[in-house]
Chains A and B, each alone.
Chain A
Amino acid sequence: MHVNGVLIEDTFAEAFPMRAARIVITAVNERWAREAALKLTGFATSVIACKCEAAIERTVSPSETPDGRPGISALLFAMDAESLGKRLVERIGQTVLTCPTANCFDGLPAEERRLTPGRALRVFGDGFQASKVVGGDRFWRIPVMDGECLIQESFGAAKGIGGGNFLILGADAASTLAAAEAAVEAMSKLAGVILPFPGGVVRSGSKVGSRRYSTVPASTNDAYCPTLRPMTESALPDDVNSVLEIVLDGLDDVSISRAMRAGITAACRPGIRAVSAGNFGGKLGPHHFRLRDVMADAVERRGSP
């Protein structure tokens, strides 16, 4: 299969189950909502070392937010609900509670599984906190030095999917980076997914474990490192000199497939030789996104082979 002349390899992205929360942060204006959201989602690229994966999902208009103020929604993923709850307490407490004018609301109200970071964070109020029930949901009013911070008591914990990915194999670093940027731009317009790495792009793709160091949980994906082509069992075609990976987490497989399709379509541009995906032979997770299945819809619409 080719898209815009770029080979779509016959392989699959292997993803795994995670638990996800959607945090809607509002503030006096978008700038301050974004400030809180950027901190909330900071240093959250991979569960391997960050305990969670998080990123801004989208800007939320005042007509969509519970308090009618400008907002930002972020998605936060962890390996299980317990860990997700801890991360929410840590991150909301250190980034939203601290941010001038910011409030924090649940973005997954329909989820039955509930976590209660608001209940945990209320004690910062040292007994001066108060709660209000509005529309059946409880909100904690925590007194702070600019007034009050409002934090919803409970947040939905959805069954999410982590580790969706694809690899952009380019002839040179510049065209590969440009393709990755185009992919990120296309994918960032879609709700339900996040790209947790810097600018949505990963250069240090990894494999599970290490060939040399037994205590290392993940190490460089040497098969896709162009500098190691003659030294290892390389997976790279001869004319590929740069590889970048797009990693995405999503609330469901439909969201991930849709985002992968948008990203791969955007990445298939001059200078790109192939698009591949990272997997571990099916041993890592139950969610397999076959690139050619993901792209089938796009190819059909384009009438390409």
Chain B
Amino acid sequence: MSEHVTLTLRSPLEESVSLESVVPDRFATSNEIEIARLPVWAGRSQRAIGDYFDVRGERSAIVRIGGDVRHAHGIGAGMTSGAIEVLGSIGNDTGVGMAGGAIHVRGDAGHRIGAGLPGASRGMIGGEIVVDGSVGDDAGTRMRRGLMFVGGNTGNSPARDIIAGTVLVMGRVGGEPALGSKRGTLVAAGEIDVPVTYRHACRYRPPHVRLALTYLMRRFGTSVDARVVTGTYDRYCGDAGTVSRGEILRWSHE
């Protein structure tokens, strides 16, 4: 058993590959050869992880991915435990349907991070996703539970139809945020256009935001302005089209 399993990209990906087999749960019970043989889809062709990556380590639920994997999609899909650390940027559908464990992306992430698998009624149902950079569209769609941190900006429709769970965005929040939210929380430290279907409640210091940010800084070493941690937020309740138990918390710069 190794401390962690490291996947190092041999050469830049020239085509999109589906890396849904990269889940710590599987790596925890596999040796180096078995990991290298796990399937990867490139278009309609089935290949293996070992065709693209050098694999080092075995039988560990801690996975490190090195290299530019912006064309690699579905990493961590459905994972239930363990941890994935991506040293660069990553593609679409990262952590879709995940139920536990943690994904830390040092760079940017693509669309639908933490959302649901195709056809699923729910997005991620547990675990933690931390992206130091920015994310694409539809981050956290239909998220049921879990914690997502975005150090940069989001694309459009973050936290759409979020059932519960928390999405924290330090940069600019894309258009139509948290539409259809039932009980979820969207925290915005940067610019955000709060939808008209949200109603202002008050300005206060939400204790759970401070708790979550403090936890993320300690666990993942995320960089967060101290004023965002200790500051006040405007609370908006919505979405009016649902049970309206969701919230958008917009940092007041105080």
Query: B80 → chain A, closest Cβ, in Å?
Result: 13
Q: Is the CB of B245 within 8 A of A130?
A: yes
Does A303 sit at the interface, judged by CB under 8 A?
no
With A130-B245, A135-B219 as given contacts, are A66 and B214 in contact (CB-CB < 8 Å)? Answer: yes
Q: Is the CB of A148 within 8 A of B206?
A: yes
Map CB proximity to B onto A130-147 as digits: 1 under 8 Å, 0 otherwise.
Answer: 101111000101000011
Map CB proximity to A onto B204-227 as digits: 1 under 8 Å, 0 otherwise.
Answer: 111110111011000100000000
Does A239 sit at the interface, judged by CB under 8 A?
no
Contacts of B183 in A (CB 8 A): 130
Please, how many angstroms separate the alpha-carbon atoms of A178 and B211 in the complex?
43
Query: Quick one: closest B residue to A103, CB to CB?
Result: B207
Contacts of A68 in B (CB 8 A): 210, 214, 229
Does B185 sit at the interface, judged by CB under 8 A?
yes
Does A202 sit at the interface, judged by CB under 8 A?
no
Please, how many angstroms separate the alpha-carbon atoms of A146 and B203 in the complex?
11
Q: Is the CB of A132 within 8 A of B245?
A: no
Does B90 sit at the interface, judged by CB under 8 A?
no
Q: Is the CB of B207 within 8 A of A134?
A: no
Select B185's contact among A69, A132, A135, beta carbons within 8 Å: A132
Q: Is the CB of A67 within 8 A of B207?
A: yes
Contacts of B229 in A (CB 8 A): 68
Please, how many angstroms separate the alpha-carbon atoms of A133 and B165 in the complex?
8
Question: Is chain B's binding surface mostly helix, strand, loop or mixed?
Answer: mixed
Does B250 sit at the interface, judged by CB under 8 A?
no
Question: Is chain A's binding surface mostly helix, strand, loop or mixed?
Answer: strand
Map CB proximity to B onto A40-64 as digits: 1 under 8 Å, 0 otherwise.
Answer: 0000000000000000000000000
With A130-B183, A135-B219 as given contacts, are A67 and B211 in contact (CB-CB < 8 Å)? Answer: yes
Please, how many angstroms separate the alpha-carbon atoms of A134 and B146 in the complex?
8
Contacts of A103 in B (CB 8 A): 207, 211
Query: Within residues 119 to 166 of chain A, which ones have a CB less than 8 A from any CB in chain B?
Result: 130, 132-135, 139, 141, 146-150
Q: Please give the number of chain A residues whose Cβ is less than 8 angstroms from any Cβ of chain B in the complex.
A: 17
Q: Which of A69, A141, A147, A149 has the largest number of chain B CB atoms within 10 A?
A: A147
Query: Within residues 65 to 94 of chain B, which ones have a CB less than 8 A from any CB in chain A?
Result: none
Q: Is the CB of B208 within 8 A of A133?
A: no
Please, how many angstroms separate the alpha-carbon atoms of A174 and B36 in the complex?
78
Please, how many angstroms separate the alpha-carbon atoms of A147 and B209 in the complex?
13
Query: Quick one: closest A residue to B226, CB to CB?
Result: A68
Query: Quick one: closest A residue to B146, CB to CB?
Result: A133
Binding site for A on B (CB under 8 A): 126, 145-147, 166, 183, 185, 202, 204-208, 210-212, 214-215, 219, 229, 245
Told that A69-B210, A147-B206 touch, could you supply 12 new A-B pairs with CB distance under 8 A? A67-B211, A132-B211, A133-B126, A133-B147, A134-B147, A141-B207, A147-B202, A147-B204, A147-B205, A148-B208, A150-B207, A150-B211
A-B contacts, 29 of them at CB < 8 A, read A66-B214, A67-B211, A67-B214, A68-B210, A69-B210, A103-B207, A103-B211, A132-B166, A132-B185, A132-B212, A133-B126, A133-B145, A133-B146, A133-B147, A134-B147, A134-B215, A141-B206, A141-B208, A146-B204, A147-B202, A147-B204, A147-B207, A148-B204, A148-B206, A148-B207, A148-B208, A149-B207, A150-B207, A150-B208
Closest 7 CB pairs of A and B: A150-B207, A147-B204, A68-B214, A67-B211, A132-B208, A67-B210, A135-B215
